[in-house]
């Protein structure tokens, strides 16, 4: 079985809206719902992690979906706290997918690639190549130019065997470590993370110009 953690607890302050972007309507459907529904053919259970003030509304909006297999939980102060809450709330599953609620354009083909590779290797992320020159700087001074042929931009969904992700979160909590995504937690415990082809269209909505005229 496959479980989904939909990370929807962020404030989205950079978007410039009083309503977090993941709850705004995109062609009449909230962004988080579009992300959630993309996974229905693949996932047996899902946890949507939201800000406390949105739990009641999201619970009402999802209670009749997936025959009661969607759970809504309140997130923590940081993304990692929120995903951990979702992980502990999931029923036992073989594979856990973690997806940003603000990535509503994820495709079935991408989900399949991540699921297949997660089952094969135990840990997987989708990523796209870096197509611009990348500089490492200190203040306003360039330290060096990085070899972009070895760099990728990580996306979600990220997929892991459940026991691997539990182990990674336990180690991070023990060490007081916070990472920017789930794969870095798995990397820290010495487990290789595979990379599959991501998609340029699988954007994370961050600013209004990411979806001009749609939100």
What confidence tens digit (pLDDT) does each residue in 40-80 have? Answer: 999 999 999 999 999 999 999 998 888 889 999 999 889 99
**Domains held by the chain: number:** 1
CB 191 within 8 A of CB 122: yes
Average pLDDT over residues 23-43: 93
For residue 151, count other CB atoms closer than 10 A to its CB.
12
Domain ranges, residue 193: 2-202
* Global pTM exceeds 0.85: yes
∠ CA 71-38-191, nearest 5°, is 75
CATH number at residue 45: 3.90.550.10
Residue 208 domain-assigned?
Answer: no
Residue 182 domain-assigned?
Answer: yes
Residue 207 domain-assigned?
Answer: no
Residue 213 domain-assigned?
Answer: no
Confidence of residue 210 (pLDDT cuts 50, 70, 90): low
Provide the pLDDT for residue 207.
67
Residue 210 domain-assigned?
Answer: no
As a whole number of angstroms, the distance between CA 105 and CA 113 comes to: 15
Q: In the predicted model, is pLDDT for residue 11 greater than 90?
A: no
Provide the pLDDT for residue 212.
55
Residue 33 domain-assigned?
Answer: yes
What confidence tens digit (pLDDT) does each residue in 134-166 have? Answer: 999 999 999 999 999 999 999 999 999 999 999
Provide the pLDDT for residue 143.
94
What confidence tens digit (pLDDT) does each residue in 123-141 have? Answer: 999 999 999 999 999 999 9
Average pLDDT over residues 180-188: 96
Residue 6 domain-assigned?
Answer: yes
Provide the pLDDT for residue 21.
86
Average pLDDT over residues 99-105: 96
Provide the pLDDT for residue 17.
66
Q: What are phi and psi of 96, to 5 degrees?
A: -115, 125
């Amino acid at each position: 079985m496959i479980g989904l953690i939909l990370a929807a607890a962020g404030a989205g302050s950079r978007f410039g809206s009083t309503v977090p972007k993941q709850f705004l309507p995109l062609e009449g459907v909230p962004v988080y719902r579009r992300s959630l529904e993309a996974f229905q053919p693949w996932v047996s259970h899902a946890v949507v992690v939201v800000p406390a003030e949105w739990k009641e509304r999201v619970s009402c909006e999802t209670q009749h979906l997936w025959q009661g297999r969607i759970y809504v939980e309140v997130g923590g102060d940081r993304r990692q706290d929120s995903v951990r809450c979702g992980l502990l709330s999931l029923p036992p599953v073989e594979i856990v997918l973690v997806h940003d609620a603000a990535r509503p354009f994820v495709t079935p083909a991408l989900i399949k690639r991540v699921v297949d590779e997660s089952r094969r290797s135990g840990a997987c992320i989708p990523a796209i190549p870096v197509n611009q020159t990348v500089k490492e700087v200190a203040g306003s001074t360039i330290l060096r130019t990085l070899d972009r042929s070895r760099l990728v931009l990580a996306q979600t969904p990220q997929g892991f065997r459940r026991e691997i992700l539990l182990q990674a979160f336990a180690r991070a909590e023990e060490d007081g470590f916070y990472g920017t995504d789930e794969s870095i937690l798995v990397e820290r415990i010495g487990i290789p993370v595979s990379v599959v082809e991501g998609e340029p269209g699988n954007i994370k909505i961050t600013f209004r110009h990411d979806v001009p005229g749609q939100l």
